[in-house]
Amino acid sequence: MKKTKQLFASATLVTLGLQSAHADYALNLMQGVTKVSNDIYDLHMLILWVCVFIGIAVFGTMFYSMYHHRKSRGHQAANFHENTTVEIIWTIIPTIILVAMAIPATKTMIELDNVQNSDMSIKVTGKQWYWDYEYLGTGVHFESHLDAASEKAHRDGSDPHGVPHYLLNVDRPLVVPVGKKIRFVFTSADVIHSWWVPDLGWKKDANPGFINEAWTSVDKPGTYRGQCTELCGRDHGFMPIVVIAMEQNDYDNWVKTTLAKQEEKPDLSDLSREQLMANGAAVYLKNCVSCHQIDGAGAPGDYPALRGSAKVNAGVDPLIGFLQAGTSKMPSFAKLKDNELAAVITYIRNAPELGNKVGDEIQPKAITPVYDDDDK
């Protein structure tokens, strides 16, 4: 009796919990905001109700037969073997059902792979642990990283509940126009990733050395969130995806603004120590913290510690060359603008949280294309 009461109380609490979290919990597929996602949803519901009908028919017949033909009513088990008519019936009917289900399923699968007649193409490259987006033929090209607030909360152990869209927000979202057929080309620069935005209705693997394709056409403006769904390393859970769908005029303005920003030359004027450290911390959180950790301790055997590192605390020019050239394990940071590179070098050499205190300030004008061949 006591166990029954406990079970009843637990079920009540679970029910109340599910009701209170209804916005974040559902038992069915979401319909999404694209034609493909709605077609998948409709196919799912069709197959679901076919299975429900079959289940009711089969188990209903089974339970009816067991109840009305039980031994207590005087029924005796029949002794027979084989029935050609029955075998033909239970072979033909399932075949018809399977063919009927295969027709809409095949139509949807063909629709998913039809990237022809696209209005634009976007190349998506997965990298540990962020996404690289290139709008083919337009010149728009940028990286999308986990936003600084989520990164900081994750790394320093602070309460994530105060961070909007924790681990599902980025610094630079993918922007697309509504009502246009958009072709995606997927690949990877390192390991297998998987690009997934539930509202679009599909996900696609990004494999190194291979190209996968998919397409979408978003029906209405909005912000749609997703994440990598392939176990791509220890920070797999920290490379989200944000897609913002805009009306065509707003999208065109975004493209113009983005291209203008890409063409801007970095500001190489001298900065105060406080500015260098603040800018360096932001660059460090975006590019370095995944491997070297928030405290610069690194990961023994995999990623060297920055705390007390001879390379970090030695001469500036060799360090600049090392970061620009990269190694087999560490990517080249030549992609950083001179002001970003100057700021992050100042930060790793002087940040108290990293345990280094060289005492210098590296200004953007000090960054030159210096390469240290011994460190490659």
Per-run averaged pLDDT (10 residues), the chain, 376 residues: 46 40 64 92 94 94 91 83 87 93 93 93 94 96 91 79 91 96 95 95 94 95 95 86 97 96 86 89 84 83 84 86 80 83 90 88 78 42
Kindly tell me the burial class for residue 248, based on how many C-beta atoms sit within 10 Å of its own C-beta (0-12, 13-18, 19 or more). Answer: exposed
CATH code where residue 242 lies: 2.60.40.420
**What pLDDT is attached to residue 227?**
95
For residue 222, give every residue at least 6 positions away whose Cβ sits within 8 Å of its Cβ, in sequence order, or none: 33, 244, 245
The verdict on residue 170 lying in a domain is yes
The reported pTM is 0.77
Asked which of 75, 93, 113 is the last residue of a domain, the reply is: 113
What is the number of structural domains in the chain?
A: 3
Residues 64 and 26 in one domain: yes
The verdict on residue 3 lying in a domain is no
Residues 199 and 334 in one domain: no
For residue 70, give every residue at least 6 positions away whose Cβ sits within 8 Å of its Cβ, in sequence order, or none: none
Asked which of 196, 230, 263 is the last residue of a domain, the reply is: 263
Residues 24 and 137 in one domain: no
Residues 243 and 142 in one domain: yes
Residues 249 and 306 in one domain: no
Asked which of 239, 263, 287 is the last residue of a domain, the reply is: 263
Q: How far is CA 129 from the centre of its chain?
A: 10
Residues 229 and 280 in one domain: no
- Alpha carbon distance 287, 358 (integer Å): 22
For residue 119, give every residue at least 6 positions away whose Cβ sits within 8 Å of its Cβ, in sequence order, or none: 180, 181, 182
The verdict on residue 185 lying in a domain is yes
Structure tokens given for 184: 């995606």
The verdict on residue 9 lying in a domain is no
CATH code where residue 306 lies: 1.10.760.10
The verdict on residue 368 lying in a domain is yes
Structural domain including 213 reads 120-263
CA geometry: angle at 228 spanning 223 and 231, to 5°? Answer: 165
Residues 280 and 367 in one domain: yes
